[in-house]
Structure 1
Amino acid sequence: MTKMKNKYSILLPTYNEVENLPMIICLLVKYMKNSGYNYEIIIIDDGSPDGTMEAAVQLQAIYGKDKILLRPREKKLGLGTAYIYGIKHATGNFIIIMDADLSHHPKFIRQFIEKQNMEDFDVVSGSRYIGSGGVFGWDLKRKFISRAANFVTQILLRPSATDLTGSFRLYKKDILENLVENCVSKGYVFQMEIIVRARQLKYSIGEVPITFVDRVYGESKLGSSEIMQFAKSLVYLFGTT
């Protein structure tokens, strides 16, 4: 397919991202427009009390309803379900998922697309653990926890990917729909399970090194409950894949 025949639906789940949303939308529009790709941005807000949805409405007025789609939900229902909800409203044949807190820079999207085109990958995943990839803004404790979790996961699950917990990826839409049907996780570990299921179903996975930058505004959504959920899901996936 040519560049313009492909369409990329960018899913942006949000919860209390009123400070970050205008900047990430501005950057996405800039990079996608300058690259000449056909795209849409789908904002899936989970009832943020901080005015995120109001900001989204203003951004839609600026950039147009054809580029900014608003698909809000009444309350916080989890990251995995946000992606499932977003896919239903996507009109592109490719899906890009990323965080709205500026930890993922849109400049890497072009590399994702080029990587996918090279070998017709089913999935292209951003990795903090290969080549020029890395993490900025984390203290040593958080970096150690991330590395340790990834190391243990690699040993137990053999996922054919170096970064299981990252959430910056490109999928063929039909492949992602099938993966979602096979996943049981709905929260933070959804990202990990979907890559493990991709390996299990023998889908091809390409990787692009990315730099992850810790959020400047707002609070991290990762807490002790998510860490416990990760550990439980790791055991479950080890036993079922």
Structure 2
Amino acid sequence: MWRRLSGRLVMASVAHKYSVLLPTYNERENLPLVVWLLVRSFEESGNEFEIVIIDDGSPDGTQEVAEQLIKVYGSDKILLRPRAKKLGLGTAYIHGMKHATGNFIIIMDADLSHHPKFIPEFIKTQKEGNFDIVSGTRYKGKGGVHGWDIKRKLISRGANFLTQVLLWPGASDLTGSFRLYRKEVLQKLMERCVSKGYVFQMEMIVRARQLGYSIGEVPISFVDRVYGESKLGGNEIVSFLKGLLTLFATT
């Protein structure tokens, strides 16, 4: 973007605003803390932000908690954009993007497994490398996982290894869901992705590689949820394997 200064055309700095998309389902206990941590992180770093909460009809009162958070932080910072029922992670992001006003989108889990303290590093990495995507990685540098038993660690490592071997994605953590995207890049990827559930995150990176988008990585510590139950089960594992084979056959 250019502007005229003293008769000369100079490059104007483009203001960056970050929209955090928080899909929720039964996160009443976790939501107040993750929102407080997000607000603190953005205010300390001086970056403009908004938090878009996409609740899929939680029966535990998550939406009521979100409404209270709007009163605390303001409707310009907290946007509640609920849906009637669970419709899948990918569609939740599409729904959230319709209401997001930032030119960068941050996606993360609302269960405190992703700590907002890493977001300033995401932003710094994006600016330094002018990346289209910055992905949090548990499998590089000082990244890691805390709170998982050996079985779940093996499942995660195995899923990531299979993906690396079959798809050559150009990123070290394919199944993670803590990322920063240019908004227009995320929109284009959404148009091409067909997966649902846990395969969705993997397909996003694979499609990004196909389209030539640049990907930066930031090591993160993943911490198992503090409150509530994990939504990973046998059906999700079977769906992941089917989705992996589909991507292998079509990419």
TM over 0.5: yes
Runs of 4+ deviating beyond 4 Å: none
Deviation digits for residues 69-110 of structure 1 (CA, Å, limit 9, x no counterpart): 010000011111101111111110000000000000001000
2 CA distance for matches of 1:119 and 1:212? 24
Aligned with residue 180 of structure 2, among 157, 165, 170: 170
Aligned equivalents of 1:93 and 1:61: distance in 2? Answer: 25
Q: 1:49 aligns with which of 59, 69, 91?
A: 59
Which letter does structure 2 place at the counterpart of 1:90? A
Q: Highest Rg: 1 or 2? A: 2
The superposition leaves residues 43-66 of structure 1 with CA deviations (integer Å, 9 ceiling, x where unpaired) of: 000000000000000001000000
Tell me the residue number matched to 1:75. Answer: 85
2:199 match: 189
Counterpart mapping for 1:113-132 below 5 A: 113-132=123-142
Tell me the equivalent position of 1:205: 215
Q: Aligned partners of 2:215, 2:114: CA distance in 1, in Å?
A: 19
* Secondary structure class of the residue paired with 1:186: coil
Distance 1:20 1:85 in 2: 22
Q: Aligned letter for 1:144?
A: L
One-letter amino acid of the structure 2 residue matched with residue 57 of structure 1: E
Query: So what's the TM-score if we normalise by structure 1?
Result: 0.98
Residue number among 212, 225, 233 corresponding to 1:223 in the alignment: 233
Corresponding residue for residue 6 of structure 1:
16
- Quick one: which amino acid aligns to residue 126 of structure 1? G
Equivalents in 2 of 1:67, 1:166: separation in Å?
Answer: 26
Q: May I ask how many residue pairs the two structures share in their alignment?
A: 240
CA contact (8 A) 1:80 1:188 kept: no
For 1:99-138, list aligned pairs within 5 A.
Answer: 99-138=109-148
- CA displacement, residues 9-60 of structure 1 (integer Å, 9 cap, x when unaligned): 0000000000000000000000001110000000000000000000000001
In structure 1, runs of 5+ residues without a counterpart are none
Q: CA RMSD in A?
A: 0.9
User: Given residue 128 of structure 2, which amino acid in structure 1 is its aligned partner?
Assistant: M
What SS does the aligned partner of 1:50 have? coil
Structure 1 Cα separation of the partners of residues 107 and 176 of structure 2: 10
